[in-house]
Structure 1
Amino acid sequence: MGTYDEAEVGEMLHRRGWRTAFTVADRVGDWSAVVTAVERGYGSDIYDYTNDLYSRNWLHEAWILLHDDVVRRWTPPIRALDDRFRAATIDDDGQALDRFHRMPGPDLWWWRRHPRVLTGPLGESLRSAGAAGWEPY
């Protein structure tokens, strides 16, 4: 793994184009909020959803740079959030989201899934792109 601490990685990624020098805690908190929203029925639109997925991208980019101790400490909660996200989504190899956002590389698996609960503006957009799911009562 990498050799940088959290602050150094935040600054490095900020210089690479991220809007601020995030911390791992910031991005884990954001990813947790996305996962919770997806489990409940994501209420915003496709553009907010794709923007929100970038919280997981940041973690992916940071992982190869961060010191092993940081990675060991944060891997269990991130893995738990990833498991919850997988349970709340359907793998369609990114077909529905690809209609709205260019798909990144295959290692960014969260881009190839869409929520099971298709509600609100996001649900409308994804259904128009052929996504299957269910609408809450």
Structure 2
Amino acid sequence: MTKAIKLLTALPQMQRERLMELAKEVSFPEDTRIFEAGGTADRFWVIRSGAVHLDQQVTPLRRVTVASLGAGDLLGWSWLFPPYQWDFGAEAFSQVRAYEFEAPPVLALCVEDPLLGLSLVRTVCEVLAHRLEMTRGKLLEQYSLPRRGTL
């Protein structure tokens, strides 16, 4: 499996610096719901410390963790794609410190600086591809059938 893509370190330094001008430092106490599936996706975060679980509501009383994120990871990508709604929920598994970015100013910066926009979209797509690969691996591991010739 490939190594996780870290948004800020994947961007070229000059573009990272421009993006960081829009960052706001935030924190979430342990067990805080950061967002819910179906809610309006108008921002994203880069986790500085702590852990966040992405989850999916599978029954009215049960959520299943689909991914765990930590330092350097991108939290939230739905702000980039219509209909701009969260696909999963997110909860702070521990005290979390993060950089928060509001989507409208980031999108305006991407229009102003198309190279930054292209780099950002490519990096977010790499993050998504990595997470899809990780999810695929988990599913294959969990639901794999015994190989022929084994009991």
Same fold (TM over 0.5): no
TM-score normalised by length of structure 2: 0.29
Tell me which protein shows more strand as a share of its residues.
2
- For normalisation by structure 1, the TM-score amounts to 0.31
